[in-house]
Amino acid sequence: MRLRFSINKALIVLLAPGAAQNMGAQSTQMEAAAKQMEQTESAMASSIQTQMETFRKPGSQGAGTSGGFFVTESSLHSAAEDTVTADCDALSPLRIESLVTEAALTQHVDADLVRAVIRQESGGRPCAVSSNGALGLMQLMPGTAEDLGVADPLDAEANVLGGAKFLRKLLDRYDGDLNRTLGAYNAGPARVDESQGVPPFPETTNYVDSILDALRNASAPH
């Protein structure tokens, strides 16, 4: 028994330095990866915060919160030309398809419509922030996101579910009229109701035409 114990102890002593070296190398790699991820997240958060400050200023389009579902101007897109920036890559087609499928089934909305809106709004980039304050894959305004129950508009799954819910409500409001639905998604229901159709803003009419073209292409035989 003593001889066997001595041999095992000797093996442990011989193997320990190599094992410790490997564990040390792995630990260093993990620390470096964690540090790089932290720096990336910090840079993204800083960029988003800077852009968000623009529409939080008094009198800006996104200031305040909505007092009723799709009623207050604070929860609507601006009719003026809107620019979108993002410091992250687009999600993979497989990931977007998964989000679209879930949202379409949950909210009873055509998957091609949800997919086309994501492509038009953000190009599939989950951290997209517009100059008017719209956020995420489906570019929800903060007030609209709150009305929809979306706590974090930059969370991809929550954003797509919220955007699909918005589309469902607009489709119901306009009896399935895609022109008015998309016009309201871009410029707000108040402006659609006032115009009794797609508001005559170049940004909005181009938006509606682009998505309708995408839907026609998606349904065309290949």
Q: How does pLDDT run across 128-157, given as a tens digit for each residue?
A: 999 999 999 999 999 999 999 999 999 999
Does residue 210 belong to any structural domain of this protein?
yes
- pLDDT, averaged across the chain: 78
Q: Which of 73, 97, 102, 121 is catalytic?
A: 121
Does residue 12 belong to any structural domain of this protein?
no
At 140 the three-state DSSP class reads strand
Torsion of CA 58, 192, 207, 185, to 10 degrees: 70
Domain that holds residue 150: 79-219
Does residue 127 belong to any structural domain of this protein?
yes
Amino acid at 190: A
Q: What is the CATH number of the domain that holds 214?
A: 1.10.530.10
Does residue 18 belong to any structural domain of this protein?
no
Does residue 206 belong to any structural domain of this protein?
yes
Is residue 32 classed exposed, middle or buried when 0-12, 13-18 and 19+ CB atoms within 10 A define those classes? exposed
Vertex 95: Cα angle to 70 and 149 (nearest 5): 25
Does residue 102 belong to any structural domain of this protein?
yes
Q: Is 31 tagged catalytic?
A: no
Q: At what angle do helices 111-122 and 156-173 cross, to 10 degrees?
A: 120
Amino acid at 32: A
Site of tokens 């707000």: 188
Give the pLDDT score at 101: 98
For the chain, 222 residues long, give each residue's pLDDT as a single digit of tens: 444 444 444 444 444 555 556 556 666 666 665 565 555 445 444 544 544 443 333 333 333 323 233 433 334 444 445 688 888 999 999 999 999 999 999 999 999 999 999 999 999 999 999 999 999 999 999 999 999 999 999 999 999 999 999 999 999 999 999 999 999 999 999 999 999 999 999 999 999 999 999 999 998 886
- Overall number of domains in the chain: 1
What is each CA distance from 197 to 76, 177, 191, 208, in whole angstroms?
A: 16, 10, 9, 11
> Are the beta carbons of 199 and 79 closer than 8 angstroms?
yes
Does residue 60 belong to any structural domain of this protein?
no
* DSSP conformation letters of 57-68: STTSTT-S--SS
Does residue 73 belong to any structural domain of this protein?
no
Token reading at 202:
């170049």
